[in-house]
Amino acid sequence: MSSRFDYIVRVSLLLFDFLLLNGTLLIAFEIFDSYRLMLPGTRINLIYIVNLIWLALTALLKMYNHRASGRYSHLKNTTINSLLVFALFFGFYLVIVKQDDISLGFALYFMIQFVTVICCTRLLLRTIIRAFVRNTRTRKKIAIIGFNDTGRKLAEYFSGQKTTFEFSGFFDDEMVRQQSLQAAPGDMPSNLQPANIKGSVKDIFDYAINNNIKEIYSTVLPDDNKNVQELMTIADKHFLRIKFVPDFTNMLRSSYHINYMNHFPVISLRDEPLEDTRNQLFKRAFDIVFSLLALVLVVSWLYPILAVLIKLSSPGPVVFKQLRSGQDNKPFWCYKFRTMQVNKQSDSQQATKNDARVTWIGNIMRKTSLDELPQFFNVLMGEMSVVGPRPHMLMHTEQYSAIIGKFMVRHFVKPGITGWAQIKGLRGGTETNDLMERRVEHDIWYMENWSIWLDVKIIFHTVFNAFKGETMAY
């Protein structure tokens, strides 16, 4: 699919979104003007604010970097993320400014209308792109050199990219080796079976010319195969592009990420979205806004109620603080509502099921996660994030880092009030090393797959579990 078509789609999407944004806002103005008079200055301020918020969010989330030839899921996810965070910031703005002439009905109508029309345009865009692909020959024909693990995985990927690529087949000099052919899984799709090997590496040039192949992906390096070297010398003359896909699976045990510093290829052991400064700023902005909303709308009135109940349950402070391991393993004071009677083992011994130290109100707070509410102050101070790996006591960090190889990886990011492991049932005590290993695996998965949408999803699950009551919290 041409870059020109990609550019047209991006620009059209950007302009159309801003037309929809301002159009829905103007319609909301007109509908609600007859019920509640809105001052002209308020209208102008709202127009500026909503456009500024939308522009900033879509730029940070790279929504308009979407390639029409790319996966629709990328556009869908960035759209959902943008709409959710836009609604959050828009709501935060309304809470802060407290304009008497802006009604709740107006705000809800505008948001519902805007979300609806944006979602409809995305579905329409997908239909247009599919029709364009179906009615024009834009798919790129490709072939693969090397019927090995990497080659088969690559072919599986290309076979899934039906709007962009058309996989033609494999070329492998060792196709005659029966042992290699039998190594392929029996339930493999037909286009990935040994029968889809079209010939040896020598045969690929003629096949490419006769079948309009545009790109050849080789999992065999030139130094390892003389025929690949010869193919490189003649490919450019016949407008054939050759690309190499090296196999690092024996070198690395986990997924890896390749980028370039100048002309130097750099392989990272994992892809971490939060290494990107823009993502860090975006997550920090989300943390600040969400924490302020939580403190103003929830903690401000719940704090005095819980404080009285905690004081009545047992003598001692309302808020309990403890040194925990933070980002880069730097200790910080983590705040919680006190759920136990004052005791000397609190810094070394985790709570257990039916723990006698836990008070009656402490038991309720632990099951509903209300004891974590003071940590929103930790978030505002930059020591924690709303979502991230849960922070451990210093003693436990030292203990588990000696047993679990990747335990310290989770400290590359800020600890969170809630996390991916917690909503997957891995919260509370970790009586066995296996439970801790599973928690670490979930924490690392979160680091490698972070997005604002994932954070929002985890927050929703946490709130749902809080109302339901956590069985593993004690």
> Is pLDDT larger for residue 248 or for residue 179?
248
> Is pLDDT larger for residue 225 or for residue 454?
454
Q: Phi and psi at residue 244, in whole multiples of 5°?
A: -105, 135
Among 145-149, 206-210, 440-444, which range has the highest average pLDDT? 440-444
pLDDT of residue 387: 97
Contacts of the segment 128-136: beta carbons below 8 A, 24+ positions apart: 129/9, 129/68, 129/72, 129/163, 130/163, 132/5, 133/1, 133/163
pLDDT of residue 407: 92
Instruction: Give this prediction's pTM.
Output: 0.60
d(Cα 277, Cα 60) in Å, to the nearest integer? 10
Task: Assess whether pLDDT exceeds 80 at residue 361.
Answer: yes
Which residues have C-beta within 8 Å of that of residue 191, sequence separation ≥ 6? 155, 159, 167, 169
Give the range among 128-137, 275-284, 376-385 with minimum mean pLDDT. Answer: 128-137
pLDDT of residue 414: 97
Residue in the structure block whose two tokens are 């995985």: 153
Tokens for 309, please give them. 């109940």
For 183-299, where are the alpha helices, taking DSSP H only? 204-210, 226-235, 277-294
pLDDT of residue 450: 94
Task: Assess whether pLDDT exceeds 80 at residue 64.
Answer: no
Domain range list for the chain: 3-135, 140-247, 275-468
Which residues have C-beta within 8 Å of that of residue 244, sequence separation ≥ 6? 217, 218, 219, 221, 222
**E strands present in 369-421:** 385-387, 416-418
Q: Are 143 and 213 in contact (CB under 8 A)?
A: yes
Task: Assess whether pLDDT exceeds 50 at residue 26.
Answer: yes
Q: Is 388 helix (H, G, I), strand (E, B) or coil?
A: coil
d(Cα 358, Cα 341) in Å, to the nearest integer? 6
In CATH, what class is 140-247?
A: alpha beta
For residues 218-227, give the mean pLDDT: 81
For residues 267-294, give the mean pLDDT: 89
pLDDT of residue 178: 45
d(Cα 101, Cα 43) in Å, to the nearest integer? 10
Q: Are 391 and 321 in contact (CB under 8 A)?
A: no
Per the DSSP assignment, residues forming a β-bridge with 385 are 416
pLDDT of residue 200: 81
For residues 279-296, give the mean pLDDT: 93
d(Cα 150, Cα 164) in Å, to the nearest integer? 20
pLDDT of residue 289: 93
Task: Give per-residue pLDDT as tens, 231-257.
Answer: 887 877 777 888 888 776 655 555 667
Give the range among 64-73, 181-190, 210-219 with minimum mean pLDDT. Answer: 181-190
d(Cα 474, Cα 471) in Å, to the nearest integer? 8
Q: Are 433 and 391 in contact (CB under 8 A)?
A: no
Task: Give per-residue pLDDT as tens, 368-423.
Answer: 889 999 999 999 999 999 999 999 999 989 999 999 988 999 999 999 999 999 99
Q: Phi and psi at residue 342, in whole multiples of 5°?
A: -60, 125
Tokens for 453, please give them. 């949408």
What is the band of 180 on the pLDDT scale with cuts at 50, 70, 90?
very low
Torsion of CA 232, 236, 241, 246, to 10 degrees: 20
Q: Are strands 331-337 and 319-325 parallel, antiparallel or unpaired?
A: antiparallel
- What is the maximum alpha-carbon separation in the chain? 86
Task: Assess whether pLDDT exceeds 80 at residue 162.
Answer: no
3-state helix, strand, coil in the chain (%, to 5): 60, 10, 30
d(Cα 144, Cα 201) in Å, to the nearest integer? 10
pLDDT of residue 447: 94
For residues 190-200, give the mean pLDDT: 66
In the chain, the percentage of residues whose pLDDT exceeds 70 is 81
What is the band of 358 on the pLDDT scale with cuts at 50, 70, 90?
confident
For residues 45-66, give the mean pLDDT: 82
| DSSP annotation string for 233-255 | HHHGGGT-EEEE----TTT-SS-
For residues 336-347, give the mean pLDDT: 80
In the chain, the percentage of residues whose pLDDT exceeds 90 is 28
Q: Are 337 and 320 in contact (CB under 8 A)?
A: yes
DSSP code for 358: B
What is the band of 134 on the pLDDT scale with cuts at 50, 70, 90?
low
What average pLDDT is seen over the chain? 82
Which residues have C-beta within 8 Å of that of residue 301, sequence separation ≥ 6? none
Q: Which of 427, 416, 411 is nearest to 470 (CA)?
A: 427
| DSSP H or E run through 35 | none
d(Cα 183, Cα 114) in Å, to the nearest integer? 53
What is the band of 285 on the pLDDT scale with cuts at 50, 70, 90?
very high
Tokens for 54, please give them. 């939308």
What is the band of 292 on the pLDDT scale with cuts at 50, 70, 90?
very high
d(Cα 148, Cα 459) in Å, to the nearest integer? 42
What is the band of 354 on the pLDDT scale with cuts at 50, 70, 90?
low
d(Cα 120, Cα 116) in Å, to the nearest integer? 6
Tokens for 94, please give them. 């309304």
> Is pLDDT larger for residue 68 or for residue 237?
237
Task: Give per-residue pLDDT as tens, 415-444.
Answer: 999 999 999 888 766 667 888 899 999 999
For residues 457-474, give the mean pLDDT: 77
Tokens for 416, please give them. 């969170």
**E strands present in 307-406:** 319-325, 331-337, 385-387
| DSSP H or E run through 11 | helix 3-33
pLDDT of residue 177: 46
